Amino acid sequence: MSFCIACGAAGQHLIPPGDNLPRLVCPRCGHIHYENPRMVVGCVAEWEGRILLCRRAIAPRLGYWTLPAGFMENGESAAAAARRETQEEAGALVRIDAPFAMVSIAHINQIHFFYRGQLTTPDYAAGEESLEVALFHPDTIPWDDLSFRSVRYCLEAYLRDKPQGRFGFHEHELPPLTG
């Protein structure tokens, strides 16, 4: 961002009084533009012991498998975002059970938040952002073709908890990739 959204003037990056981080500040009207992490919300949706995955039809990671997830919209709850993304990407209806995992990815200004859920029917179909959708038994998950490290972390935690018959809440911070 370079220009003020309030008046259109060119902004300056500086630390406003009472703050400790550089922000885009408008020298004309004084508006301070805060940029905050974006929330990606999704769901580990299960049907009869199988987990719903979508093969991405969009960049980044085109052609790789992911949990149904996407950016949360203003005006919706996190659970509503998980239900909406599951329906949009996988054509599936899901009943949300509980929050399950939160993965902070500070180097790209994102937080990935996943719920546990159950499909309400075995019906699913690829949406615009998916090449295909499938239910995977835990032993057939395409681990080498998963789209994001947050998805891998979430699935690994889910499959560790499942045999115990109880699920915890998992929080993790992903460092930047090196080399």
Give the CATH architecture of domain 38-173. Answer: Alpha-Beta Complex (3.90)
Q: Which band of pLDDT confidence, cut at 50, 70 and 90, is reported for residue 35?
A: confident
* Residue 156 neighbours by CB under 8 Å, 6+ apart: none
Q: What is the pLDDT of residues 122-174, one digit of tens each?
A: 999 999 999 999 999 999 999 999 999 999 999 999 999 999 999 999 999 99
Radius of gyration of the chain (CA): 19
* Residue 26 neighbours by CB under 8 Å, 6+ apart: 4, 6, 7, 9, 11, 12, 32, 33
Look at the alpha carbons of 32, 35, 36, 42 in this order and tell me if their dihedral is positive or negative: positive
CATH no. for 1-35: 2.20.70.10
For the chain, which residues make up each domain, given as ranges?
1-35, 38-173
With 0.85 as the threshold, say if the pTM is over it: yes
Tell the residue number behind the tokens 């961002």, with chain if given.
1
Cα separation, 90 vs 67, in Å, equals 9
pLDDT for 179 equals: 72
Cα separation, 57 vs 35, in Å, equals 28
Q: What is the pLDDT of residues 102-115, one digit of tens each?
A: 999 999 999 999 99
Q: What is the pLDDT of residues 38-91, one digit of tens each?
A: 999 999 999 999 999 999 999 999 999 999 999 999 999 999 999 999 999 999
